[in-house]
Structure 1
Amino acid sequence: MGLPAIDSYPMPGSSVLPRPHVSWRIDPARCALLVHGMQNHFVGAFPAGRSPVVELVDNIVALRELAGALGLPVVFSAESTGQRPGRRGLMAEVWDSGTGHEPDAAAIIEPLVPRPGEHLLSNVRHNAFLRSHLGRLLRSEGRDQLIVCGVYAHRGVLLTAADAFMNDIQPFIVADAVADLSAEEHSMALRWAARSGVVCSTAALLRDLLLHRGRRNT
Structure 2
Amino acid sequence: MAITALSAYPLPRIEDFPTNKVSWTFDPSQAVFLIHDMQEYFVSFYGAENALIDEVIANLVSIKAYCKANGIPVVYTAQPKEQNIADRGLLTDMWGPGINQSPEQQEVVSALAPEPEDTVLDKWRYSAFQRAPLEQIMKELGRNQLLIGGIYGHIGCLMTAVDAFMRDIKPFMVGDAVADFSRDDHDMALKYVATRCGQVVTTASVTEQATPAINQAANATNETTNGAESPITKATLQGTILSLIDEPEDEFDADENLLDYGLDSVHVMSLLTQWRKQGIELNFVALANEPTLNNWWQLISAQQEAQI
TM range (shorter): over 0.9
Per the alignment, residue 134 of structure 2 pairs with: 134
Alignment of 1:101-140 (within 5 A): 102-140=102-140
Per the alignment, residue 181 of structure 1 pairs with: 181
- Whether the 8 Å CA contact 2:144–2:170 is kept in 1: the answer is yes
Distance 1:194 1:90 in 2: 28
Distance 1:30 1:209 in 2: 18
Distance 1:70 1:204 in 2: 15
Matched residue count: 210
Q: Which protein has the larger Cα radius of gyration, Structure 1 or Structure 2? A: 2
Distance 1:38 1:149 in 2: 9
CA displacement at 1:204 relative to structure 2: 1.2
User: Residue type matched to 1:106 in 2?
Assistant: Q
Distance 1:24 1:208 in 2: 17
CA displacement at 1:118 relative to structure 2: 0.4
CA displacement at 1:17 relative to structure 2: 0.5
Unaligned stretches of 5+ in structure 1?
A: 211-218
Per the alignment, residue 205 of structure 2 pairs with: 204
Per the alignment, residue 85 of structure 1 pairs with: 85
CA displacement at 1:48 relative to structure 2: 2.4
Distance 2:127 2:209 in 1: 27
Aligned in 2, Cα 1:209/1:129: closer, same or farther, shift over 3 Å?
Answer: farther
Q: Percent identity?
A: 37
CA displacement at 1:23 relative to structure 2: 0.9
Per the alignment, residue 6 of structure 1 pairs with: 6
- Whether the 8 Å CA contact 1:63–1:206 is kept in 2: the answer is yes
- Whether the 8 Å CA contact 2:41–2:102 is kept in 1: the answer is no
Deviations 1:63-102 (A, max 9, x none): 1111011111100001101201111111111111221154
CA displacement at 1:5 relative to structure 2: 1.5
Unaligned stretches of 5+ in structure 2?
A: 212-308
Aligned in 2, Cα 1:162/1:209: closer, same or farther, shift over 3 Å?
Answer: farther
Distance 2:200 2:91 in 1: 28
Kindly report the root-mean-square deviation, in angstroms, between the aligned alpha carbons of the 2 structures. 1.3
In terms of fraction of residues, the more helix-rich structure is 2
Distance 2:77 2:117 in 1: 15
Per the alignment, residue 61 of structure 1 pairs with: 61
Alignment of 1:39-58 (within 5 A): 39-58=39-58
Distance 1:209 1:164 in 2: 28
Deviations 1:99-157 (A, max 9, x none): 11544311100011100110000011111000000110011111100000000000000
- Whether the 8 Å CA contact 1:145–1:170 is kept in 2: the answer is yes
- Whether the 8 Å CA contact 2:12–2:176 is kept in 1: the answer is yes
Structure with bigger RCO (C-alpha 8 Å, 6+ apart): 1
Scaled by the length of structure 1, the TM-score of the pair is 0.93
Per the alignment, residue 144 of structure 1 pairs with: 144
- Whether the 8 Å CA contact 1:27–1:209 is kept in 2: the answer is no
Deviations 1:1-49 (A, max 9, x none): 1111211111111111011010100111100100000000001111322
